[in-house]
């Protein structure tokens, strides 16, 4: 490898955004919460919700002591509300299995609900300073372009971890910076739509640029239309429950004017099935404390 590390480190020193989770002493819990929120939600939308969340629940034990429905309400409109449920479950698991301390070991992190290859290593590296490859969608795009000469990365693969690991310097601190810098470059320079190659620190060694920016035959399937979808119905039902919380909502009052009643009922059933709602007698509510 020609080595992405040196130019990435130099660039990051000047170009890195000032983000809350990069502040000194932000803490492993804050890092974990931020990573949950950042799973598919843009940075600018996450920041205010993150600060409110940590003010309300400064530790995993604090969150674990609240009913999961409170987490869903606090999650507000961040999207993918099952993440709120998973974050709550992870907090309970941290309390019960790790004495309330966010684990440092990658395998222990992977065993927590809602944590996968990316989030586990992000916590281990950015919160605890360990040396692992951290690969998110930004990093995969940077590697695809700079190293492979392709416009877009293929689907996520475990091999991505090894390929990123090969780019990391030996030094632990330097490796962490390269991880962060690759993500940051993908987020603000090597972007999916209009990459800013004129200001890219990797331009001189970029295989995609050298090859003349070939298009990639993208067999990505199109994102399903949201308008009129079951997902939209689920979102609308859940918003009704959040807005009413902590009060339950009579079933007859859940989206009474929804254009497709069968779809609405399907949405309610699936939310209950997912644990995002509870149907008791003839009312619907967010999940409360487990019975045990």
When the beta carbons of 41 and 61 are compared against DNA, the nearer one is 41
Using CA atoms of 43, 44, 45, 48 in order, give the dihedral in degrees to the nearest 10: 100
Q: Does 264 bind DNA (CB under 7 A)?
A: no
When the beta carbons of 194 and 292 are compared against DNA, the nearer one is 194
Q: Does 86 bind DNA (CB under 7 A)?
A: yes
When the beta carbons of 51 and 204 are compared against DNA, the nearer one is 51
Computed on alpha carbons and rounded to an integer, the radius of gyration of the chain in Å comes to: 21
Q: Does 116 bind DNA (CB under 7 A)?
A: yes
Q: Is residue 227 among the annotated active site residues? A: no
Q: What token pair was written down for 112?
A: 């927590």
First to last CA, the chain: 55
Whether 275 contacts 85, CB under 8 Å: yes
Q: Does 232 bind DNA (CB under 7 A)?
A: yes
Q: Does 217 bind DNA (CB under 7 A)?
A: no
Q: Does 79 bind DNA (CB under 7 A)?
A: yes
Q: Does 160 bind DNA (CB under 7 A)?
A: no
CB atoms within 10 A of CB 171: 12
Q: Does 19 bind DNA (CB under 7 A)?
A: yes
Considering only 14, 107, 194, 247, the residue that binds DNA (CB under 7 A) is 194
User: Interaction with DNA in 134-153: which residues (CB under 7 A)?
Assistant: 136-138, 141
Whether 126 contacts 176, CB under 8 Å: yes
Secondary structure, 3-state, 165-201: HCCCCCCHHHHHHHHHHHHHHHHHCCCCCCCCHHHCC
Candidate list 35, 93, 167, 184, residue with the active-site label: 35
- The phi and psi torsions of 88 (rounded to 5 degrees) equal -65, -45
Considering only 187, 189, 249, 284, the residue that binds DNA (CB under 7 A) is 187
CA distances from 126 to 60, 95, 134 (A): 18, 21, 9
CA–CA dist 134, 11 (Å, integer)? 18
Considering only 5, 7, 12, 21, the residue that binds DNA (CB under 7 A) is 21
Binding residues for DNA (CB under 7 A): 19, 21-22, 34-35, 38-43, 45, 77-82, 86, 113-120, 122, 136-138, 141, 155, 183-184, 186-187, 191-194, 220-226, 229-232, 234-236, 238-239, 270
Catalytic residue numbers read 35
């Amino acid at each position: 490898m020609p080595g992405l590390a040196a130019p990435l480190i130099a660039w990051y020193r000047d170009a890195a955004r000032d983000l809350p989770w990069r502040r000194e002493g932000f803490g492993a819990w804050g890092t974990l919460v931020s990573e949950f929120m950042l799973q598919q939600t843009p940075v600018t939308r996450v920041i205010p919700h993150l600060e409110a969340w940590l003010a309300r629940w400064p530790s995993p034990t604090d969150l674990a002591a609240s009913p999961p429905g409170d987490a869903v309400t606090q999650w507000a409109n961040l999207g993918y509300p099952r993440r709120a449920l998973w974050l709550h479950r992870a907090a309970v698991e941290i309390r019960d299995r790790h004495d309330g301390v966010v684990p440092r070991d990658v395998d222990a992190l992977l065993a927590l609900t809602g944590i996968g290859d990316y989030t586990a290593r992000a916590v281990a590296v950015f919160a605890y300073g360990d040396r692992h490859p951290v690969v998110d969608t930004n990093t995969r795009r940077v590697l695809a372009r700079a190293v492979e000469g392709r416009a877009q990365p293929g689907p996520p693969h475990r091999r991505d971890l090894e390929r990123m690991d090969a780019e990391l310097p030996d030094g632990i601190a330097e490796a962490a910076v390269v991880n962060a810098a690759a993500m940051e470059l993908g987020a603000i320079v090597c972007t999916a739509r209009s990459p800013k190659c004129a200001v890219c620190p990797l331009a001189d060694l970029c295989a995609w640029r050298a090859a003349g920016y070939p298009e990639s035959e993208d067999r990505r399937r199109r994102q399903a239309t949201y308008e009129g979808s079951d997902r939209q119905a689920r979102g609308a039902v859940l918003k009704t429950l959040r807005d009413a919380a902590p009060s339950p909502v009579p079933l007859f009052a859940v989206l009474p004017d929804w254009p497709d009643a069968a779809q609405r009922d399907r949405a309610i059933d699936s939310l209950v099935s997912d644990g995002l709602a509870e149907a008791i007698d003839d009312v619907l509510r967010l999940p409360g404390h487990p019975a045990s």
